[in-house]
């Protein structure tokens, strides 16, 4: 007689997302591990007097989502401070920042996530706009991509001496208040909360992740107190989310000194990759292209290729996976060459973050290298007619962005993440399934796999996570409707009713 299960989910449609996908009625869990999947009748035998039973009443269960590229600190800041995403226009954004001014007594007034392409004005926030928020406290509004931000006069004047000149936007010689890249990093550091202030931000972001069915994240951090908070919450057994911390290359020396390497850590908090930026973003016209933007030049390097080569070589030789942000075709090509110079990029599972603009040659080269593409299906919202991609790349190149179909067909491992634009796996799945171009479009199963098994592989955890199978950790999400059954355009509206991490229910929808 086997020991009874601690938790049983029964009367459901449990998709294993293995290859092929199998559908079972029930799953039994003990000590955080899936001990058996089968029919409700079969699993009934594992029920004991103290087994918790969740009757699914036909609901769908999937492996928990893994957001393979995210920034919980940013999400936490947005949840707690001024959220500028989804604002109607510039006046609305100014209103929200003014509310934030009222909420706090002193110091920075921070807003996050504005996207001027959603506004009729179609222009970024300026110094004049933000001076309306405050004339005596520093104000910053970060654009959604975090590579571009807008400052008021107080903030600009206080830090102007530290800004590289090419990262400051000017009109007729005068600063507009818009700064990008390294200049914005100065502001980012100046506004970083200490560990005490960080904890509620991380907890708010973690709770939001649970509401969205996310059971694991690959978080990207730089000069942040977030890692301290992750480890403190983990030690207190209060994290409830699997976090792989990907550290900026600034931290490589310190990590090596401490004897860290990729995959070191606990059940819940592990060291992931070392991260660098090769180029910028389309929104900032700073992603590095072979042909000029519709309204600009060919972008810029954030890390010079020669410097990148040295970093990748050193990290690789010391047991680190490497993740490089590369969006433009020239940046992707260059990063791939640098990865190919390492011992075995497929074994190290080096990653290209975003990998947006691809040529046919690049698709083949990525497939041959074994490098993982960590992509954001939600970015396809910009690939629609008249969207951001068309504005900066034109119609033809827009069709060559985010070629998920082609990547999978070529045999590339695709790990989906959100980059918090917005954090929402089902929204991402819907975008991939309804993509405007055939070479971008995935089936529901493929998109869900990229958000589960893809992330597990990118995190060296495919033996433990990513599918629903006996022996795997019990990270699960329960949905009230089937993503295979609802209209494609309604996948994002499916409600998450339960999120389970390591056998513990961490989120339950209120009824």
Residues that bind Zn ion (CB under 5 A): 419
Q: Which residues partner with 83 through β-bridges?
A: 112
* Least distance between Zn ion and beta carbon 286 (Å): 14
* Least distance between Zn ion and beta carbon 144 (Å): 11
Closer to Zn ion by CB, 329 or 419: give it. Answer: 419
- Cα separation of 253 and 256, whole Å? 5
Closer to Zn ion by CB, 156 or 389: give it. Answer: 389
Closer to Zn ion by CB, 30 or 208: give it. Answer: 208
Strands 504-508 and 139-143 turn out to be: unpaired
Q: Which residues partner with 323 through β-bridges?
A: 275, 351
Closer to Zn ion by CB, 70 or 467: give it. Answer: 70
Is residue 306 a contact partner of residue 283, using CB atoms and an 8 Å limit? no
Cα dist. 233→193, 243, 448, 503 in Å? 17, 11, 29, 18
- Cα separation of 28 and 40, whole Å? 10
Closer to Zn ion by CB, 181 or 419: give it. Answer: 419
* Least distance between Zn ion and beta carbon 198 (Å): 18
Residues 6+ apart with CB under 8 A from 189: 223
- Cα separation of 212 and 427, whole Å? 10
Strands 504-508 and 13-15 turn out to be: unpaired
* Least distance between Zn ion and beta carbon 373 (Å): 14
* Least distance between Zn ion and beta carbon 497 (Å): 29
* Least distance between Zn ion and beta carbon 227 (Å): 16
Residues 6+ apart with CB under 8 A from 104: none
Closer to Zn ion by CB, 391 or 419: give it. Answer: 419
Closer to Zn ion by CB, 140 or 324: give it. Answer: 324
What is the phi/psi pair of residue 55, to 5°? -80, 115
* Least distance between Zn ion and beta carbon 70 (Å): 7
Of the candidates 226, 206, 268, 230, the residue with the CA atom closest to the CA atom of residue 507? 206
- Cα separation of 349 and 344, whole Å? 8
Give me the residue whose beta carbon is nearest to Zn ion. Answer: 419
* Least distance between Zn ion and beta carbon 324 (Å): 12
- Cα separation of 89 and 68, whole Å? 31
240-251: burial string, b at 16+ Cβ within 10 Å, e else: bbbbbbbbbbeb
Closer to Zn ion by CB, 156 or 230: give it. Answer: 230
Closer to Zn ion by CB, 75 or 367: give it. Answer: 75
What is the phi/psi pair of residue 153, to 5°? -65, -40
| 306 burial type by CB count under 10 A (0-12 exposed, 13-18 middle, 19+ buried) | exposed
What is the phi/psi pair of residue 127, to 5°? -60, -40
* Least distance between Zn ion and beta carbon 20 (Å): 33
């Amino acid at each position: 007689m086997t020991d009874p299960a601690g938790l049983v989910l029964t009367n459901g449609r449990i998709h294993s997302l293995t290859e092929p996908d199998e559908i079972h009625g029930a799953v039994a869990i003990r000590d955080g591990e899936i001990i058996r999947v089968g029919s409700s009748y079969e699993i009934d035998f594992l029920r004991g007097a103290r087994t918790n039973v969740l009757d699914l009443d036909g609901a769908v269960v999937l492996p928990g989502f893994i957001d393979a590229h995210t920034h919980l600190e940013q999400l936490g800041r947005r949840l707690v401070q001024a959220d500028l995403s989804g604002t109607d226009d510039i006046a609305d954004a100014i209103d929200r920042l003014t509310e934030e001014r009222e909420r706090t007594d002193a110091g920075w007034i921070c807003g996050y996530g504005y996207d001027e392409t959603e506004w009729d004005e179609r222009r970024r926030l300026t110094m004049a706009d933000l001076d309306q928020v405050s004339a005596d406290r520093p104000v910053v509004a970060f654009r959604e991509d975090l590579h571009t931000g807008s400052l008021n006069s107080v903030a600009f004047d206080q830090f102007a001496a530290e800004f590289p000149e090419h990262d400051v936007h000017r009109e007729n010689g005068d600063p507009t208040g818009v700064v990008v890249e390294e200049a914005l990093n100065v502001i980012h550091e100046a506004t970083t909360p200490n560990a005490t202030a960080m904890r509620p931000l991380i907890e708010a972001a973690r709770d939001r992740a649970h509401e969205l069915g996310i059971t694991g994240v690959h978080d990207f951090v730089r000069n942040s107190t977030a890692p301290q908070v992750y480890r403190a919450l983990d030690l207190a057994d209060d994290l409830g989310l699997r976090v792989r911390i990907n550290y900026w290359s600034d931290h490589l020396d310190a990590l090596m000194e401490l004897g860290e390497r990729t995959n070191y850590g606990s059940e819940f908090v592990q060291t992931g990759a070392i991260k660098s930026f090769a180029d910028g973003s389309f929104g900032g016209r700073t992603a590095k292209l072979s042909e000029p933007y519709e309204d600009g030049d060919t972008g810029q390097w954030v890390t010079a290729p020669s410097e990148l080569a040295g970093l990748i070589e050193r990290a690789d030789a010391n047991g680190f996976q490497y993740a490089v942000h590369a969006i433009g075709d020239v940046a992707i090509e260059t990063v791939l060459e640098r990865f190919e110079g390492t011992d075995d990029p497929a074994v190290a599972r080096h990653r290209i973050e975003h990998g947006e603009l691809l040529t046919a040659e690049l698709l083949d080269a990525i497939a041959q290298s074994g490098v993982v593409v960590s992509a954001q299906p939600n970015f396809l919202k910009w690939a629609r007619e008249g969207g951001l991609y068309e504005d900066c790349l034109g119609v033809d190149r827009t069709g060559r962005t985010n070629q998920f179909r082609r990547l999978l067909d070529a045999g590339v491992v695709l790990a989906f993440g959100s980059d918090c634009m917005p954090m929402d796996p089902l929204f991402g799945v819907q975008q991939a399934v309804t993509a405007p171009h055939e070479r971008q479009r995935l089936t529901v199963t493929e998109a869900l796999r990229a958000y589960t098994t893809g992330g597990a592989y990118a995190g060296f955890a495919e033996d433990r996570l990513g599918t629903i199978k006996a022996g795997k950790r019990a990270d699960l999400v329960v949905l009230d409707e089937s993503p295979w059954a609802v209209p494609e355009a309604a996948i994002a509206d499916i409600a998450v009713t339960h999120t389970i991490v390591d056998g513990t229910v961490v989120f339950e929808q209120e009824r």
